[in-house]
Amino acid sequence: MPANKTLLILPGDGIGPEAMGQVRRVVDWMDQRRAVSFDVSEDLVGGAALDVHGVPLADATMDKAHNADAVLLGAVGGPKWDGLPFEVKPERGLLRLRKEMQLYANLRPAICFEALVEASTLKPEVVSGLDIMIVRELTGGVYFGEPRGIETLPNGERRGINTQVYTTSEIRRVAAVAFELAKKRDKRVCSTEKANVMESGVLWREEVTKLHNESYPEVELSHMYADNCGMQLVRAPKQFDVIVTDNLFGDMLSDVAAMLTGSLGMLPSASLGDADETGRRKALYEPVHGSAPDIAGQGKANPIATLMSFAMCLRYSFDLGEDADLIEEAVKAVLASGIRTGDIMSPGCTLVSTEGMGDALLAELDKRAA
Ligand code: IPM
Ligand code: MG
* pLDDT of the residue at 369: 86
**What tens digit of pLDDT does each residue of 131-170 get?**
999 999 999 999 999 999 999 999 999 999 999 999 999 9
* Distance (Å) from CA 13 to ligand 1 centroid: 13
* Distance (Å) from CA 278 to ligand 2 centroid: 32
* Distance (Å) from CA 292 to ligand 1 centroid: 12
Run of H or E including 156: none
Return the ligand 1 atom nearest residue 286 CA.
9
* Distance (Å) from CA 251 to ligand 1 centroid: 7
Q: 266 CB contacts (<8 Å, ≥6 apart)?
A: 113, 116, 258, 302, 304, 305, 308, 344
Paired sense of beta strands 158-161 and 149-152, if any: antiparallel
Catalytic residue status for 251: yes
Q: Which of 31-35, 145-149, 212-216, 331-335 has the lowest mean pLDDT?
A: 31-35
d(CA 33, CA 369): 8
Ligand index nearest the alpha carbon of residue 108? 1
* pLDDT of the residue at 87: 85
**What tens digit of pLDDT does each residue of 82-135 get?**
999 988 999 999 999 999 999 999 999 999 999 899 888 899 999 999 999 999
CA distances from 29 to 23, 253, 353, 363 (A): 10, 34, 20, 11
Domains of the chain: 1-107+267-370 (3.40.718.10), 131-260 (3.40.718.10)
**What tens digit of pLDDT does each residue of 271-292 get?**
999 988 888 899 999 999 999 9
Active-site hit among 43, 89, 143, 316: 143
d(CA 177, CA 364): 34
Residue 2 pLDDT class (50, 70, 90 cuts): low
Let me know if 311 is exposed, middle or buried by CB neighbors in 10 A (0-12, 13-18, 19+).
buried
Catalytic residue status for 255: yes
* Distance (Å) from CA 289 to ligand 1 centroid: 8
d(CA 136, CA 117): 25
Residue to mutate (ligand 1; options 251, 255, 291; most atoms within 8 A of CB): 251
**What tens digit of pLDDT does each residue of 303-359 get?**
999 999 999 999 999 999 999 999 999 999 999 999 999 999 989 999 999 999 999
User: What pairs with residue 285 in β-bridges?
Assistant: 72, 270
**pLDDT cut 70: percent of the chain above it:** 99
User: What pairs with residue 243 in β-bridges?
Assistant: 134, 190
Which residue minimizes the CA distance to atom 4 of ligand 1? 251
Pocket around ligand 1: residues whose beta carbon is below 6 Å from it?
76-77, 91, 94, 251, 288, 290
- Tell me what the pLDDT averaged over the chain comes to: 95
Catalytic residue status for 241: no
Ligand index nearest the alpha carbon of residue 56? 1
Active-site hit among 51, 186, 255, 359: 255
Q: What is the pTM of this model?
A: 0.94
Return the ligand 1 atom nearest residue 95 CA.
7
**297's torsion region: left (phi>0), alpha (psi -120 to 50) or beta?**
left
d(CA 147, CA 78): 27
CA distances from 164 to 168, 170, 240, 248, 276 (A): 14, 13, 26, 9, 29
d(CA 69, CA 75): 20
Active-site hit among 89, 194, 282, 300: 194
Residue 57 clears pLDDT 60, i.e. is over it: yes
